[in-house]
A and B are shown apart, each in its own frame.
Chain A
Amino acid sequence: MNTLTESTLEAEQASYDFTLPAGEGWSNEILRGQTFRIVDLEGNQAADTLFYDLHDPADRYSAQDTIREQENIYLTTGTRLFSTRGNALLTIIADTCGRHDTLGGACACESNMVRYALEKRHMHACRDSFWRALRLRGAEWEKRDITNNINFFMNVPVTPDGGLTFADGISAPGRYVEMRAETDVLAVISNCPQLNNPCNGYNPTPVRLLIWD
Chain B
Amino acid sequence: MPELDPSLIRFTETVMPGANWSHVLKRGTTLRVIDLEGDGNVSALFYNFELPSERLNLPDTLKCQHIAKLTKGACLYSDMGRILVSITEDTCGWHDPLTGCSNARNIAAKYGELTYQQARNEWHRNAHDGFLTELGKYNLGERDLAMNVNFFGKVTVDDLGAMSYHPGSSKAGAFVDLRAEMNVIVVLNTCPHPLDPSPTYAPKSVSLIVWSLPPVTAADTCRNSCAENERGFILTERYFQ
| Chain A contacts to B: CB under 8 angstroms | 1-2, 58-59, 62-65, 67-68, 71-74, 84, 86, 99, 103-106, 108, 110-111, 113-115, 117-118, 127, 142-148, 156, 158-166
Contact = CB atoms under 8 A, between A and B. Distances in A.
A113 B146 CA distance: 22
B142 A160 contact: no
B53 A142 contact: yes
Interface in B66-106: 66-69, 77, 79-82, 94, 98-101, 103, 105
A105 B60 contact: yes
A99 B53 contact: no
B81 A113 contact: yes
Nearest to B159: A160
Interface of B: 53, 55, 57-60, 62-64, 66-69, 77, 79-82, 94, 98-101, 103, 105, 128, 141-148, 156-163, 194-195, 228, 231-232, 234-235
A25 B143 CA distance: 21
13 contacts: A65-B100, A68-B163, A71-B163, A74-B161, A84-B145, A110-B79, A110-B80, A111-B64, A114-B77, A144-B144, A158-B68, A158-B157, A161-B156
Contacts of A164: 62-63, 66-68
Given A148-B58, A164-B68, A72 B232 contact: no
Given A71-B162, A73-B161, A103-B68, A114 B232 contact: yes
A167 B14 CA distance: 43
B236 to A, nearest CB: 10
A71 B156 contact: no
Given A64-B100, A143-B53, A115 B156 contact: no
Contacts of A72: 160-163
A1 B100 contact: no
A160 B234 contact: no
Nearest to A115: B64
A111 B157 contact: no
A62 B100 contact: yes
Contacts of B234: 118
Contacts of B157: 73, 158-160
Given A72-B163, A145-B143, A160-B158, A111 B94 contact: no
Given A68-B163, A108-B79, A114-B60, A144 B53 contact: yes
Most chain B beta-carbon neighbours within 10 Å: one of A68, A162, A164: A162
Contacts of B82: 110
Given A73-B157, A74-B161, A114 B228 contact: yes
Nearest to B105: A86
Nearest to A149: B59
B231 A114 contact: yes
A146 B123 CA distance: 34
Nearest to B140: A144
A115 B148 CA distance: 21
Given A58-B142, A110-B235, A113-B81, A163 B194 contact: no
B81 A108 contact: yes
Contacts of B80: 110
The list of the 8 closest CB pairs from A to B, nearest first, reads A105-B59, A64-B100, A110-B81, A162-B69, A74-B161, A158-B157, A158-B68, A164-B68
Most chain B beta-carbon neighbours within 10 Å: one of A62, A68, A127: A68
A73 B64 contact: no
A118 B163 contact: no
Nearest to B59: A105
Given A67-B163, A118-B234, A156 B100 contact: no
A127 B59 CA distance: 13
Nearest to A147: B146
B81 A165 contact: no
A106 B67 CA distance: 16
A126 B158 CA distance: 29
Nearest to B77: A114
